[in-house]
Amino acid sequence: MIFDSNIRINKKNYDLSLKNLRSKKKIYGIKNAVCLLCSQNKNYNIKEFTKTLKKFEEFVPAVELKKTVSLNTLKNLSDNKVKLVKIHPRHINVHISQTKYYLELTKKIKKFNFIIMWCTLDSWYNKISKSNEQLDLLAKIINNNKKNKFLLMHGGGPDLLKFYEKFRFNENVYLDLSYTIYHYKKTSLEEDIIFLFNKFDKRLITGTDFPDINFKEYYKNLTRLILKSRVSKKKINNILFNNLKKILFK
């Protein structure tokens, strides 16, 4: 049984997209999924998205924030039972060196009980991030938002163990392996992932990063890695389902 941490809705027709996802998820044992309205969607309509999601109880709504976010927008999300908001530095096109912007944004979010999803992949088309720049920024943000839970999406990619070491004693921080677990398949990073399966199973989650990665390829690779890891069924159940269930279905 799988609780997918990261399915994105990129198409204009929300209802059709969700019906398509519902039919696919049954094949691969995906019981629930965090379903994200991507800020790049040409039909970025929070009201329509949340209304449509009410017909699909197996999907938990998440909304990727745009560059300018008002308190009214956040209140509207909260009133519509949205539990997760995502900050994607590349999509809003504010470099992670702009510390003040992110501290002010997360200060607004702090007023609500959102779970904060943060895209940790720091490859930029026009700028290069300094070593540990994002880790230092996240440390400031997380220290200032001790009541919010954080899902660090993709777990820092190739810097997976740096993110683990930085936040392993912070109970509000979870590492997400969507994208990373597939993109880096059959590389040395697999040993790091297996290490986390063993040492960090209570704060590790994973998902497809659909539509970039399809369900079949994700499931095939995930099954291979689980067998390779020889991790206990209890730990795998935490990673695949129980951790997200605990966070979202209190």
Which domains, ranges and CATH numbers included, belong to the chain? 2-248 (3.20.20.140)
Confidence tier at 33 by pLDDT (50, 70, 90) = very high
In this prediction, residue 139 carries a pLDDT of 97
In this prediction, residue 119 carries a pLDDT of 97
Confidence tier at 25 by pLDDT (50, 70, 90) = confident
Asked whether the predicted pLDDT for residue 131 surpasses 90, the reply is no
Confidence tier at 28 by pLDDT (50, 70, 90) = confident
Mean pLDDT of 140-161: 95
Predicted TM-score (pTM) of this structure: 0.96
Q: What is the pLDDT of residues 83-119, one digit of tens each?
A: 999 999 999 999 999 999 999 999 999 999 899 999 9
Confidence tier at 179 by pLDDT (50, 70, 90) = very high
Selection from 174, 178, 183 nearest residue 209 by Cα: 178
In this prediction, residue 74 carries a pLDDT of 96
Confidence tier at 26 by pLDDT (50, 70, 90) = confident
Asked whether the predicted pLDDT for residue 238 surpasses 90, the reply is yes
User: In this structure, are strands 84-87 and 173-176 parallel, antiparallel, or unpaired?
Assistant: unpaired
Selection from 128, 191, 184 nearest residue 156 by Cα: 184
- Determine the Cα–Cα distance for residues 97 and 172; give it in Å rounded to an integer: 24
